[in-house]
Structure formats: structure tokens, C-alpha cells
A and B are shown apart, each in its own frame.
Chain A
């Protein structure tokens, strides 16, 4: 996997996810400043809307992809001992997978 998505492709994924994350952050800031969330019912209702579910799903995918490329770069830059490097990359993968499953559960729970 890392062999196929290394270098330029990882760089591109980082940039594309960054653009989505930046756009989403801007949108969310404006939205929540204009529409403060009064209680749980309103918060829950917001998450059941299809547009929100799609936007949030894309957000989570972009977040995990972006976190993967960034942390991978940090590990490759600072950890030079091959075995430790491999172990940390595997740990990163596992951790991101756990977060992904958790996010799917949250999304399913609210829909």
C-alpha cells in the first residue's frame, strides 16, 4: 500500500484533503456562529440531515487521510531505525483504523 501511495500521490492526497478541511472549517465556523446549538434535540436533528451526514462523512475521510500523510511524514523524518519506523507506521495505521471504525459507529448511531 505505502509503496503505491508514496511520494507524489501522498502529497496530492494531503493537498486535496487540506482543501476540503479548510473549506469545511470555514463553513462550520460561519454556520455555528450564525446558528448556535441550544440543546441536544437541535444538535441531534442537525446530524440526521442527509447533507450533514454526507459532509461529515467526507470530513472524517479527509481528516483520516490528512492525519495519515502528516504523521507518516513526521515518522519518516525523525525515525531512522527501520524496525522502529515500521512498527510506528503499523501503529499509526492501526490507530487510524480504530478511529475510522469508531466514526462509522457514531455516524450509524445518529442516522
Chain B
């Protein structure tokens, strides 16, 4: 243990050149935390929308507003990214796409699909 006590630690996050697979992995974790935080508000919206016609209208009205629209777009990104990054990991568990080139390519696709979902969420009428 002692010989390694003073090993150098490089933590300048902005200078680190992370490969796309690492970025997708970090975003997988971040999107999961976001979705976890969204659980309670989502259940609240579900409860209100099911309660009565007024509640349903109130939820629909709230979802039309800009703040909720942007939050919805962010959560859509989180959902799509988390879903696709998770499926990518399941395929890698099944020994599909383990090679570095294939793993990088699938990570690019996951990241791009997530960003497309974000754009779709923002532009959704």
C-alpha cells in the first residue's frame, strides 16, 4: 500500500480526453439519476390526471407550459439515452459489439439518438 501513496492524480476534468464510450457511460448514469428524481413528480401528475376531469385538464395545461415543456424534453433525452445505453450494455453482456471499434460506433449511435430525442422534445409542438 505505502509505495503507491504518492502516485500522481490527474483530475483536470476539462483537459481529460475521454473516449465517446466513457461520455456515453457517464451520461447513462446521469440520465438514470434524472429519471429517478422525476419519479415522484411523474406519479403526482399521474394521480392528478386520473383523479377527475379538472385534474386531467390541469395536468394537460401544465405540460403545455414552457418550463414543463423543457423539463419534458430533458427527461425525453434522459429516457432515450438511458434506454439505448442500457440496451447497448445488454448486447455487450451477450458478447455483441465488444470490440473497440464496434463499441465506439454503438456509443456514437446512442449519444446521437439521445440528442435527436432532445431536439425532438424541444421542437415538439
Contacts and interface: CB of A to CB of B under 8 A. Distances in A.
B56 A22 contact: no
Contact of B46 (A18, A19, A40, A106): A106
Interface in B57-98: 57, 79, 83, 86-87, 90, 93
Contact of A67 (B39, B49, B53, B93): B39
A110 interface: yes
B23 interface: no
Tier of interface size on chain B: 20 to 34
Nearest to B36: A67
A40 B93 contact: no
Interface string A78-111: 0000000000000000000001001101100110
A103 B46 CA distance: 9
A22 B86 contact: yes
Given A22-B83, A43-B49, A110-B50, 15 more contacts: A40-B56, A40-B57, A41-B53, A63-B39, A67-B35, A67-B36, A67-B39, A70-B36, A71-B33, A99-B43, A102-B43, A102-B47, A106-B43, A106-B50, A109-B47
12 contacts: A15-B90, A39-B56, A40-B52, A40-B56, A44-B50, A63-B39, A70-B36, A74-B33, A99-B40, A105-B47, A106-B46, A106-B50
